[in-house]
Amino acid sequence: MSTDTTFDRGRTKLLYDYAADRYLRSLPPEHFMEATPQSTQRKITLESFDLIHALRPDVQCFNELLVQYPRSGEDPDKPGQVVPDNMVVVHPEPIRAFTNFATPLQPVGPLLVLEYVSKHSERKDYVVSYNKYEQDLKVPYYLVFYPDADELTLFHLRDGKYRTVYPNEAGRYAIPELELETALLDGWARYWFRGELLPLPGDLLRQLTAVKDQLAASQQALQDAQGKLTEAERRAALAEAELARLKEEMARARPAGP
């Protein structure tokens, strides 16, 4: 957020919204065509970060949101622009960003950007994007996934440059600020939160079905046990009644005293 006392928030919002509208109108039709690997990875990321957000509401993930920012030495009315496949912001209050994420108007910048690069989709110049994340926006973490090459790389900004993050003892790349680790699993970038692999909806559905089946089996076993207990109680009652009848007959058959 700008600390300049002359900063005109209303004017900046108007200019950035206008720039966002121009950007959207300039996009060619092929921009909206996404290769299946990118789409699949995007879905995995969004589903995983939905679970993280439920446990840590300050972790907020955005999908293909235009990021706009002032460029040093350039016309302030013409912001720099970049669209990460996914972007993660950490802030205790909900981030208000509709058509674009205008950094001068936001309380914090992106902590993590994620890009999924497929040879079947050339919608972006990833070299240019890399430079924008590193030099202009100074995003602390940049994760890039090449599904065609089965390659995942995490960069961490140190001393103004992106440095490659090496895997930990578990073979995963750690982002401590998010309590997060990432690694390839079955050909996709997956996420571990607080040491636990984040399940996908299909995994959760199978787990839920298994729990429901186990609960149904337990309920049936309980009903069977209750049925057996009821039958045992009925037989005990009959036995007691028969015993009482026999005692009564014995009492009647006992000879009278002198």
pLDDT tens profile 136-153: 999 999 999 999 899 999
pLDDT at residue 1, rounded to an integer = 47
Q: Which of 46-50, 126-130, 226-230 has the highest mean pLDDT?
A: 46-50
Confidence category of residue 49, pLDDT binned at 50, 70, 90: very high
The residue that leads in pLDDT, 174 or 217, is 174
Answer whether residue 157 shows pLDDT above 90: yes
pLDDT at residue 231, rounded to an integer = 81
Distance CA 183, CA 78 (A): 38
Q: In the chain, what percentage of residues exceed pLDDT 70? A: 93
Count CB atoms within 10 A of the CB of residue 63.
Answer: 15
Lowest-pLDDT range of 175-179, 204-208, 230-234: 204-208
pLDDT at residue 120, rounded to an integer = 65
The residue that leads in pLDDT, 163 or 125, is 163
CB 111 within 8 A of CB 139: yes
Mean per-residue pLDDT of the chain: 89
Answer whether residue 247 shows pLDDT above 70: yes
| CA neighbours closer than 13 Å in the CB half-sphere of residue 105 | 20
Cα angle for residues 108, 166, 118 (degrees, 5° grid): 75
Residues 6+ apart with CB under 8 A from 91: 58, 60, 107, 108
Average pLDDT on 120-124 reads 63
Q: Give phi and psi for 138, each to the nearest 5.
A: 50, 50
Average pLDDT on 214-218 reads 81
Distance CA 156, CA 55 (A): 24
Cα distances (Å, whole numbers) of residue 180 to 49, 139, 200: 10, 17, 16
Q: Which amino acid is at 174?
A: A
pLDDT at residue 138, rounded to an integer = 97
> What is the sign of the dihedral through the CA atoms of 137, 189, 193 and 51?
positive
Q: Give phi and psi for 197, each to the nearest 5.
A: -65, 130
Distance CA 108, CA 1 (A): 7
Q: In the chain, what percentage of residues exceed pLDDT 90? A: 59
Radius of gyration (C-alpha) of the chain in whole angstroms: 33
Average pLDDT on 110-139 reads 87
Average pLDDT on 244-249 reads 81
Cα distances (Å, whole numbers) of residue 149 to 144, 156, 191, 211: 12, 21, 19, 38
pLDDT tens profile 8-24: 899 999 999 999 999 98
pLDDT at residue 246, rounded to an integer = 77
Answer whether residue 2 shows pLDDT above 50: no
